[in-house]
Amino acid sequence: MIRPNKWFVSVMVLLLLLTGCTAQKTGQEELTGVVEAKEVDVNTKVPGRIVKLYVQEGQQVKAGDLLAKIDDEDLKAKEAQALAGIAAANGDIAKAAAGSKLSADSTAAAVQKAEAALAKAKADAELARKTYERMVELHKAQAISDQQMDSAEKDYKAALAGVAAAEGDLANARASRLQVDVYQADMQRAEAALAKAEADLQQVRINLKETNIKAPCSGTITSLNVEEGEMVSTGLPLMTVTDYADNWVNVKVKQSVLDKIKEGQQATLIPVSVPDKKYTGKIVDISRKPEFATARATNDRGEKDIVTYNVKIKVNSAQLRPGMSVQVKFE
């Protein structure tokens, strides 16, 4: 039987004690986290038929690249309809404006003429009245004949009738101003129709742009859920773009660790499958929401409540792929 060398054992014990003291002194926490990456579902804002797919799964894309095309024939027809509505509304506005101006000009002239005619009729009537009153006095004095008296009375009545006729003409001329109001109402309706047609055209052109499905970010097509010729509706993901370079590690830490870490702090990340590789990340978020599933599980067993909090460590290294497990050391 080989007996261990006492000196060797003493040295090993001393080394273990020193190692433990060193780890405790540095205060490093080694935990295991999971790598995640930015994933964006690509949806459509307009329903329709996929007429062309420009990508396939695994293909690299850049932000703004054309991914798919939705049939736009119906939207183009609506665009033409909206343009026709705009043209018609502009024509109605021009027609109403011209009619309003013409009516306003002719009405003003007619009113001016009727006012002049009324003034003349009143002057003639005043002259006829004075003549008639003078002839009455002369007739009483038997200075004029009955025939002359009848003629003066007839002229006076005719002058009064002329005033009445002139007043009627003036009222008709002023009433024609209502036609101007009619043209103004027509113009307002045409302007409202123009505004609606322009709004319809704007919306149609927005929808036409949406028929070109473009990449929301740079990355890789990691899932393709549609095929050419398939009908799609709004809200359903057509495909998923994953940006492997925009990634991070989520790690759960105990509440006892929270006082030892802070946002902006560096962390060392070591892939479990490749322990000789090391990556550096930075804490960008420490969740304030506890992991209740852990709390309930420990409580159900009657154990002391162990609450954990999620810590997000930004990496931005495409070499760490989603789903990888990494050991985390907080510096």
Give the CATH number for residue 112: 1.10.287
Q: Do 160 and 275 sit in the same domain of this protein? A: no
- Amino acid 304: pLDDT: 57
| Mean pLDDT along residues 184-209 | 92
Condensed to tens digits (0 to 9), the pLDDT of residues 14-55 reads: 443 344 443 333 345 569 999 999 999 999 999 999 999 999
Tokens of 39: 């994933």
- Amino acid 15: pLDDT: 40
- Amino acid 296: pLDDT: 54
Return the percentage of the chain with pLDDT > 90, whole number. 50
pLDDT tier at 170, thresholds 50, 70, 90: confident
- Amino acid 52: pLDDT: 96
Q: Do 86 and 199 sit in the same domain of this protein? A: yes
How many domains is the chain built from? 2
Tokens of 64: 């703004």
Q: Do 255 and 322 sit in the same domain of this protein? A: yes
89, 189 Cβ separation under 8 angstroms: no
Note whether residue 3 is domain-resident. Answer: no
pLDDT tier at 305, thresholds 50, 70, 90: low
Angle between helices 73-140 and 177-210 (to 10 degrees): 170
Task: Give the domain range for residue 190.
Answer: 73-210
The mean pLDDT of the chain is 84
Judged by average pLDDT, the poorest of 77-81, 136-140, 222-226 is: 136-140
Q: How many alpha carbons fall within 13 Å on the CB side of residue 83?
A: 7
298: CB partners within 8 A, 6+ apart:
304, 305, 306
312-324 as b/e, with b when 16 or more CB fall inside 10 Å? Answer: bbebebeebeeeb
The structure's pTM equals 0.61
CA distance 220 to 217: 9
Return the percentage of the chain with pLDDT > 70, whole number. 85
More confident residue, 195 or 25: 195
- Amino acid 194: pLDDT: 93
Most confident of 93-102, 110-119, 164-173, 283-292: 283-292
Q: Do 53 and 132 sit in the same domain of this protein? A: no
CATH code, 241: 2.40.30.170
User: DSSP E strands: which ranges in the chain?
Assistant: 30-42, 48-53, 60-61, 66-70, 212-214, 219-224, 231-232, 239-254, 266-271, 279-290, 308-314, 325-330
- Amino acid 301: pLDDT: 55
Tokens of 132: 């008639």
